[in-house]
Amino acid sequence: MPTDLVLVLAIPMVIIHAATSLISLRYITVPRFIGLPIAVYESVYYVILLTYLLLNHYGIVLLVMTTLFLLIHVGGVYLYVNGTLTYLSHKRNGLRYYGYYEIAELIFIVITMSMLIY
């Protein structure tokens, strides 16, 4: 699997997480019809990233963090499908914490991509 593919697929991830963190910190939610496809894309991205990292023998910390994000996003798809995220998104503090989580994930993506470039 080429590094370029992983890097190109990361571009939407950066955009998604920057936008989602900003709107979440403003207590705005992503509509389900947009959020569900995004959650699926993110899950697929983390499968591809994890496969790449495994094939290229990256360190255990990076593998564990990528696996954690993969599990979170697969869980997010499930929560979108069964409607649980709609309930959770009505909680103001939850949206703020979600915005912080999105910033942390954005930092992870940027650091990971910089590791793949250098």
Residues 19, 57: contact at Cβ < 8 Å? no
Rounded distance, CA 41 to CA 36, Å?
9
Residues near 99 by Cβ (< 8 Å), separated by ≥ 6? 20, 21, 22, 23, 24, 25
Does the structure show a pLDDT above 70 at 56? yes
**pLDDT number for residue 32:** 84
Domains of the chain, residue spans: 3-117
- Chain-wide mean pLDDT for the chain? 92
By CB neighbour count within 10 A (0-12 exposed, 13-18 middle, 19+ buried), where does 45 fall?
A: buried
Whole-structure pTM value? 0.91
**pLDDT number for residue 87:** 66
Residues 46, 70: contact at Cβ < 8 Å? yes
